[in-house]
Amino acid sequence: MNSTPYAPGPIKSMPHLGLKDRNTFGLDATADIAYEITAPGEIAGVMREVNTQNLPWRVLGGGSNVILPKVLPGATLLMNITGQEILPSDQNATLIAVGGGVNWHEFVAWTLENNLPGLENLALIPGTVGAAPIQNIGAYGIEIADYIDSIEAFDVKIHAFVTLSKDDCQFAYRNSYFKQHPQRFIVAKVVFKIPKVWQAKIHYADLAKQFEENPNPTAEEIFLAVCKIRTHKLPDPKVIGNAGSFFHNPVIPNEQYETLLKKYVDLASYPDAPGKRKLAAGWLIDQCGFKGQRMGEVGVYENQALVLVNYGNGTAQDILGLAKCIQDKVRNEFGVSLEIEPNIL
Ligand code: EPU
């Protein structure tokens, strides 16, 4: 990890800012003081303020993976560093530096418009570029980790910008060094490494089905197919509040998987590390009868049981109450614990 000293930039604060339209669950929350961050130097400036006043703080990107309380005390950094730049690259891969505040889906579309295919399987994932590596977003057979070169972040511990290599990031399924060290890094820029030789990745079941008749699709065709599948299975946060998958897919030992499979022959699962199996949490929740169920202002989405939704006036407490019911029932039925995916602030 290399570090560089910083020159704090000017800061712009917004007191008592409503965040209902800045979190995809659509929760009614207010930030005590919000800071809009448009350049890396501003992060340093705000964090100096945070330190001097000993304020609690957090970063909000696209707000697509958070459960917000009614009031967020202290400082809320709204990440809005934009811009993408193609860096000097070699013959094997193209390097692209992208601001942490860039919308993820718009970036994926931009790569295709600029003839840099590779990220198309990750189309339509809500959120920002800066938030994407924290939980190592993944879908339809690929993970963002496969395409990261390095990350420029503000290290709160040493008050300097650091560059983390892909290895430093310790990416794993929905996990990273950033997630393991909450409140330590603020991602300013992500450098992507897109291989120059492209190969379609359509092995994921839903995608394979789309291309039964067309085994050699273009990246654009894959992009459109992923958008179609996601639009059907996952609710549009602009229409109905949600944070995508609400639980991780649980990983269990092979022996436990074999025992479950004897009782539930159509148990949905994926291969994982040797000796382990990843179960489809959506299948487990669906089997417990939750799909499409409503509990007051919140519920379980009708097309994908892994997604919890807010019908409009739900609170963090309502969502966590429903989550607890689901966790209890799945544990009783299958002996499997479900871990919540979004960050509970
Ligand atoms: N299933 C059901 N009922 C349901 C939902 C799913 O039986 O209500 C079964 C499906 O039939 C399928 C299996 O479970 O056999 C897997 O379902 P799906 O393909 O929808 O994927 P998933 O495992 O539920 C994961 C990611 C998604 C990602 C998809 C596609 C996690 C926690 N979720 O979902 O990521 O889009 O695979 O790759 O790993 C997200 O993180 O927000 C997200 C949407």
What whole-number distance in Å separates Cα of residue 344 and Cα of residue 182?
12
The CATH number assigned to the domain with range 241-344 reads 3.90.78.10
Check residue 230 and give its pLDDT: 97
Ligand 1 mutation target, pool 264, 283, 303, most atoms within 8 A of CB:
283
Along the 345 residues of the chain, how does pLDDT read in single tens digits? Answer: 766 655 666 678 999 999 999 999 999 999 999 999 999 999 999 999 999 999 999 999 999 999 999 999 999 999 999 999 999 989 999 999 999 999 999 999 999 999 999 999 999 999 999 999 999 999 999 999 999 999 999 999 999 999 999 999 999 999 999 999 999 999 999 999 999 999 999 999 999 999 999 999 999 999 999 999 999 999 999 999 999 999 999 999 999 999 999 999 999 999 999 999 999 999 999 999 999 999 999 999 999 999 999 999 999 999 999 999 999 999 999 999 999 999 999
The CATH number assigned to the domain with range 2-79 reads 3.30.43.10
Q: Which of 49, 221, 297, 341 is catalytic?
A: 341
Task: Identify the residue whose C-alpha is closest to ligand 1 atom 6.
Answer: 282
Q: Considering only CA atoms, which of 119, 129, 111, 18 is closest in space to residue 64? A: 129
Check residue 3 and give its pLDDT: 65
Put simply, whether the predicted model's pTM sits higher than 0.85 gets the answer yes
Q: Considering only CA atoms, which of 83, 94, 112, 36 is closest in space to residue 189? A: 83
Check residue 10 and give its pLDDT: 65
Check residue 4 and give its pLDDT: 63
| C-beta of 243 in contact with ligand 1 (< 6 A) | no
- What is the chain's length? 345
Can you read off the two tokens belonging to residue 203?
A: 């092995």
What whole-number distance in Å separates Cα of residue 87 and Cα of residue 191?
9
Indicate the domain borders of the chain.
2-79, 84-195, 241-344
| C-beta of 248 in contact with ligand 1 (< 6 A) | yes
Check residue 9 and give its pLDDT: 64
CA of residue 158 to ligand 1 center, whole Å: 39
Check residue 232 and give its pLDDT: 94
What 8-state DSSP symbol labels residue 340?
B
Protein fold of 84-195:
3.30.465
Task: Identify the residue whose C-alpha is closest to ligand 1 atom 11.
Answer: 283
Helix/strand/coil for 2: strand
